[in-house]
Structure 1
Amino acid sequence: MTEIRTPRLLLRRWNDDDLAPMADINADSQVMRWIDDGSVRDLDETAEAIEQWEEEWDEEGFGLFAVELLASGEMAGFAGLSVPEYLPEVLPAVAISWRFGSQFWGQGYASEAAHATLEFALQDRGLDRVISISRMGDDASENIIRKLGMKSESEMTHPVYGFPLSIHAIDLTEFQA
């Protein structure tokens, strides 16, 4: 079982107990406003997403981690890696992403989880390069991307929703653990 411990977090594979808290996160319009068309997701859509995330683990050897607070055991959201197949212009890239419940914002959890995920990608999984795809105007995500040391690489338009995206990247030679 793949797990990463940081000073405050446990990044781990998904289990049945994660469905309800992740569905609550996905049902929050504040959380979802920068994701796809901004629509919230229900319990069934969340279950389907978790199933897909677990399949990516099995197929790729990486995926999205469930993120749990070590102090309380609360499920706070996710951070991890995925192949951004919806954006063929960047392939064969691997993208880092995160999503946390709004009650966990502003406490450094997303940055901590993203840094651990990036280290996992470059040092454990042997990836030479990782990208991040963010929607223009998502300042909170842009801040985390800067903290990771990622550099702006290009801008493009989301192929389905038509809004502008910013692509950032970092390679193994630029990463500082």
Structure 2
Amino acid sequence: MPLETRTARLLLRRWRESDLAPFAAMGEDPEVMRYFPSRLTRTQSDELAGRADRLFETHGYGLWALEKQSTGDFIGFTGLAPVPAFIPGPGGLEVGWRLARSFWGQGYATEAARAALDVAFGRLDLEQVQAITAVINEPSRAVMERLGMTATAEFQHPKIPVGSPLRVHIRYAVSRAAAAQACAAADLTR
């Protein structure tokens, strides 16, 4: 399993100490964390980065730190992780991402997630990858749909309080063939 991979504009790599401060700033940004139950403290942010990076040792895949190749800026993360056991449904692997606000709207999330799906379907030889988000998270749902993912089920997130607008989540899934078709269609529109 590669410890890093590249796209046209991004380097997906293991985490570095220098990523922790900008990642913590993301976790404190109310807009970045809008679709999460709460913002992150610096300790929580550092722990999340550590868990994201350790996935590579325990599973051979993980959540890469994202670096913009042209500037070397840390812009967020993307990658693959096991669907948490407390999430209702079939389990498996999910693709996920989170970007600093200044990098939104430039196609980085879709570009990085496509690279993660390439690893999932090519190197890990998976047949399907999932993604989950709050139903109201329209920006992430749009990325999922650009990736060729389709909505498969809504569920009540067991760790989000009843009555919270974030409680209702949606699961998306994409097959190897659907991901390839979505990627080819995107290449035709460029």
Report the TM-score, using the length of structure 2 for normalisation. Answer: 0.87
1:171 maps to what in 2? 175
Q: Contact 1:85–1:91 at 8 Å: present in 2 too?
A: no
For 1:2 and 1:90, the matched residues in 2 are separated by 29
Between 1-10 and 131-140, the greater mean CA deviation after superposition:
1-10
For 2:43 and 2:81, the matched residues in 1 are separated by 21
1:104 maps to what in 2? 103
> SS at the partner of 1:98?
strand
Matched, 1:12 2:13: yes
Runs of 4+ residues deviating >4 angstroms: none
Question: Aligned AA for 2:52?
Answer: W
Question: Aligned AA for 1:32?
Answer: M
How far apart are 1:2 and its partner, in Å? 1.3
Q: Contact 2:87–2:158 at 8 Å: present in 1 too?
A: no
Question: Aligned AA for 1:94?
Answer: L
Matched, 1:2 2:3: yes
How far apart are 1:43 and its partner, in Å? 1.7
For 1:88 and 1:33, the matched residues in 2 are separated by 20
> SS at the partner of 2:22?
helix
Instruction: Give the number of equivalent residue pairs.
Output: 175
Report the TM-score, using the length of structure 1 for normalisation. Answer: 0.94
Q: Contact 1:11–1:113 at 8 Å: present in 2 too?
A: yes
> SS at the partner of 1:174?
helix
For 1:54 and 1:122, the matched residues in 2 are separated by 21
